[in-house]
Structure formats: C-alpha cells, structure tokens
Amino acid sequence: MKDNEITITETLADLEKRQLEYAIRMEDEEEYTNHSYRDEQILMQAIKDGNVKLVERLLQTPLSFPKAVERGSRKNEEYMTAIWVALAARAAIEAGIASRESFLVSDIFLKQIAGAMDVRVYLAIRKRAALTYAGLVAEHRKSGKKRMYVGECKNYIAVNIFKRISSRDVAAELNLNVIYLERIFKEEEEVTIGQYIQREKIKRAKNILKYSDRSLTEVGDYLGYSSQSHFGTVFKKETGMTPRQYRDANHVTKY
C-alpha cells in the first residue's frame, strides 16, 4: 500500500471514529432527546402557513438542538440560532415571500446573532425570527386575498357597467363589508369604487359617442345615469369636454 493510500485510510477511519463518538455523546445528552425533527417540521410548516398563533404556541416549549460544536453552550447556541434563521427564511420563501425580502430580514437577525453574548439572547432571537417570518407570510396571504377581492369587484363592475351600480351593490354581491371593500379597493387602485365605476362608464360612453349615432339622452340612459344633466356633468369632469363636444371632435362617420 502506498503512503498516500495509508494516509487516506487513516483519515477515513479517524472520521468514522469521531462520528461514532459524536452520535454516542448526543444519545447520552438529555437535551438531544428533547429535539424532534417532526417538531421542527411542524414549526416550519406553521411559518409557511402564516399561522402566527400556532407559532406562538409551539414556541412556549422551545426546541432544543444537539450540540453543533464541542466548545461550550454559547457557541453552540450561536450556530444553532443562525441555522434556525436560515430555516425560517427558507420556509417563508417557499410560502411565496420574495427571496430578496426574506434574505434582508435574515441579514438583520444574523447581525443580532453576531452581536449577542448570552444564551438567553439567542433564544429570544429564534422566537422573534419565527414570529417575524410567520407574520410576513400571513400579510402576504392577506394581500393576495385582497387582490382577489379587488379583481372580483372589477369583474362585477365590467359585467354590470350598463346598470346603476354602487359600492354597496358590489359588496353585497361579494358578501363583504362595504367599508372593508372600499378600503382595500382604494389601497390597490388608488381610486374609490365609485370613481372607478364612473371612469369605466365614461370609457363606454366615449366609444358609443364615437362609433354610434345614438342620441346623448340614449347614451346616458344606456349607461344607467339618472338624468342627462348628471351624465353630462360626470362626462365633462372625466374628459374636460361635454358629450356633444366629444362627439363633434371624434365621431366616426359610417360609409
């Protein structure tokens, strides 16, 4: 056997010996038996679900970790806390949080870990990290649901654009509180539902005035306005022109 082959064999043997010693030591340590991979998975799934209350409940009994290093408990807790943050960050990304946002948050926690000198601080960082990421996922899911409601609101308006409709009609159709629907719609579209309805009605009115010979009264009635004057007022507010001025300037003559 060559010298280099002997060296490799001895190195592998030493590695196997150390792994065996480590496994035996972990089995002998009480804190190792407290750590369960299943418990860890349950916690990470709670983060993915954005279930902040469940995360809080699970953290009432802190998970323990086997020692990653042999140099005292503080260094072990430091390493394990960094791993914890990385796992939570990954869980949040898998739940739909943008990787950039998730890593920015993890950077904050990693800086806190680097500056910590006490085991209790590491435990506190773990808890804050888990709750922070669960909260991010919860907010992300809530935003997704808001966008869905706003989309359904706009679809309802498009289908019923030639009727007299209000935010209350839309909220009733979607089985939502009208104040809540108004708020999330304004957040997403930067206009109220009423303003959006009028804007969409005027878009239709412009097309009718441009491509048809219907009278101005018919156009107003067709779009559900209570009177010709009301139609004219809204139209001018949206376009800066009266309906007649718009038709005179844009009407397409049929050949």
pLDDT digit string, tens, across residues 218-249:
888 888 888 888 888 888 888 888 889 888 88
* pTM of this structure: 0.56
Of residues 34 and 128, more confidence is placed in 128
123 contact partners, CB below 8 Å, separation of at least 6: 62, 77, 81
Whether the predicted pLDDT of 215 surpasses 80: yes
Q: Are 191 and 199 in contact (CB under 8 A)?
A: yes
Return d(Cα 150, Cα 125) in angstroms, integer. 37
The pLDDT of residue 33 is: 45
Q: Which CA distances in Å does 234 have to 36, 198, 215, 219? A: 66, 7, 17, 13
98 contact partners, CB below 8 Å, separation of at least 6: none
Q: Are 156 and 170 in contact (CB under 8 A)?
A: yes
Provide the total of helices (H) and of strands (E) in the chain, helices listed first: 13, 0
Return d(Cα 193, Cα 199) in angstroms, integer. 10
Whether the predicted pLDDT of 18 surpasses 70: no
- Number of Cβ within 10 Å of residue 191's Cβ equals 13
pLDDT digit string, tens, across residues 176-203:
899 989 998 998 889 999 999 999 988 8
Whether the predicted pLDDT of 21 surpasses 80: no
The enclosing H or E element of 241 equals none
Whether the predicted pLDDT of 72 surpasses 60: no
Q: Kindly state the tokens that stand for 74.
A: 């503080």
Confidence label for 6 from pLDDT (cuts 50, 70 and 90): very low
The pLDDT of residue 30 is: 47
39 contact partners, CB below 8 Å, separation of at least 6: 58, 63
Confidence label for 128 from pLDDT (cuts 50, 70 and 90): very high
Give residue for tokens 């949080």.
97
